Chain A
Amino acid sequence: MQITLNGEAYDVREGATAAELVAELELGNRRIAMEVNEELLPRSQFETYQFAQGDRVEIVHAIGGG
Chain B
Amino acid sequence: MSHDSLTVAGRTFHSRLLLGTGKYQDMAQAEAAIQASGAEIVTIAIRRSNIGQDPEQPNLLDVVPPDRYTILPNTAGCYTPRDAVRTCQLARELLDGHNLVKLEVLGDEKTLYPDVTGTLEAAEQLINDGFDVMVYTTDDPIIARRLEDIGCCAIMPLASPIGSGLGIQSHYNILSIVENASVPVLVDAGVGTASDAAEAMELGCDGVLMNTAIAGAQDPVLMASAMRKGIEAGREAYRAGRIPIKRYASASSPIEGTFF
Neighbouring A residues of B189 by C-beta, 8 Å: 66
A63 and B30 alpha carbons, distance in the complex (Å): 12
Q: Per-residue 0/1 for B27-45: is the Cβ within 8 Å of any A Cβ (1 yes, 0 no)?
A: 0001000000000000111
A6 and B51 alpha carbons, distance in the complex (Å): 8
A18 and B209 alpha carbons, distance in the complex (Å): 37
Is the CB–CB distance between B49 and A30 below 8 Å?
yes
Is the CB–CB distance between B21 and A64 below 8 Å?
yes
Count contacts on B: residues with CB < 8 A to the other chain. 36
A64 and B19 alpha carbons, distance in the complex (Å): 11
CB proximity to B under 8 Å, residues A8-54 = 8, 25-27, 30-35, 38, 40, 42-43
Pick the residue among A7, A27, A34, A38 that contacts B55 (CB under 8 A).
A27
Question: Given that A30-B59, A31-B59, A31-B94 are contacting pairs, would A65 and B74 also be in contact in the complex, using a CB cutoff of 8 Å?
Answer: yes
Asked if B90 lies at the interface with its beta carbon under 8 angstroms from chain A, I say: yes
Is the CB–CB distance between B47 and A61 below 8 Å?
yes
Neighbouring B residues of A43 by C-beta, 8 Å: 93
Asked if A5 lies at the interface with its beta carbon under 8 angstroms from chain B, I say: yes
Question: Given that A64-B23, A66-B212 are contacting pairs, would A32 and B51 also be in contact in the complex, using a CB cutoff of 8 Å?
Answer: no
Is the CB–CB distance between B22 and A66 below 8 Å?
yes
Asked if A1 lies at the interface with its beta carbon under 8 angstroms from chain B, I say: no
Neighbouring A residues of B45 by C-beta, 8 Å: 62-66
Is the CB–CB distance between B48 and A65 below 8 Å?
no
Is the CB–CB distance between A61 and B49 below 8 Å?
yes
Is the CB–CB distance between A33 and B90 below 8 Å?
yes
Name A59's closest neighbour in chain B (CB-CB): B49
Name B20's closest neighbour in chain A (CB-CB): A66
Asked if B237 lies at the interface with its beta carbon under 8 angstroms from chain A, I say: no
Question: Given that A27-B55, A38-B86, A59-B48 are contacting pairs, would A64 and B22 also be in contact in the complex, using a CB cutoff of 8 Å?
Answer: yes
Most buried by A among B22, B44, B55, B90: B90
Neighbouring B residues of A33 by C-beta, 8 Å: 46, 90-91, 93-94
Name B's A-contacting residues (CB within 8 A).
Answer: 20-24, 30, 43-49, 51-52, 55, 59-61, 71, 73-74, 76, 86, 89-91, 93-95, 162, 189, 209-212
A–B pairs, 22, beta carbons within 8 Å? A6-B48, A31-B59, A31-B94, A31-B95, A33-B91, A34-B93, A38-B86, A58-B48, A60-B48, A60-B94, A61-B47, A61-B48, A61-B94, A62-B44, A64-B20, A64-B21, A64-B44, A65-B44, A65-B211, A66-B20, A66-B209, A66-B210
